[in-house]
Amino acid sequence: MNYLFAAFCFIWIVLFGYLRFLQKRLKALQQEISLLKEAIRKSLPDEGGR
């Protein structure tokens, strides 16, 4: 029974670690998208309020 509990805890720890990794990656991608949008906005001529 101890092995079952240890495996259960290990699975949850791995799951939370993976979710944390995905959260960091998503945040980095969102920042990169924001930078790209800003660069595009600066490089294109004004389209009359768009």
pLDDT digits (tens, 9 = 90+) for 1-26: 899 999 999 999 999 999 999 999 99
Look at residue 47 and tell me if it is in a domain.
Answer: no
Instruction: Fill in the DSSP letter of residue 44.
Output: S
Q: Which domain holds residue 8?
A: 1-40
Look at residue 45 and tell me if it is in a domain.
Answer: no
pLDDT digits (tens, 9 = 90+) for 28-48: 999 999 999 999 999 988 765
Tell me the H-state helices in the chain: 2-43
Look at residue 8 and tell me if it is in a domain.
Answer: yes
CA pair distance 14, 2, nearest whole angstrom: 18
Look at residue 50 and tell me if it is in a domain.
Answer: no
pLDDT tier at 49, thresholds 50, 70, 90: low
Look at residue 18 and tell me if it is in a domain.
Answer: yes
Domains held by the chain: number: 1
Look at residue 49 and tell me if it is in a domain.
Answer: no
The amino acid at residue 49 is G
Look at residue 1 and tell me if it is in a domain.
Answer: yes
pTM of the model: 0.68
Look at residue 48 and tell me if it is in a domain.
Answer: no
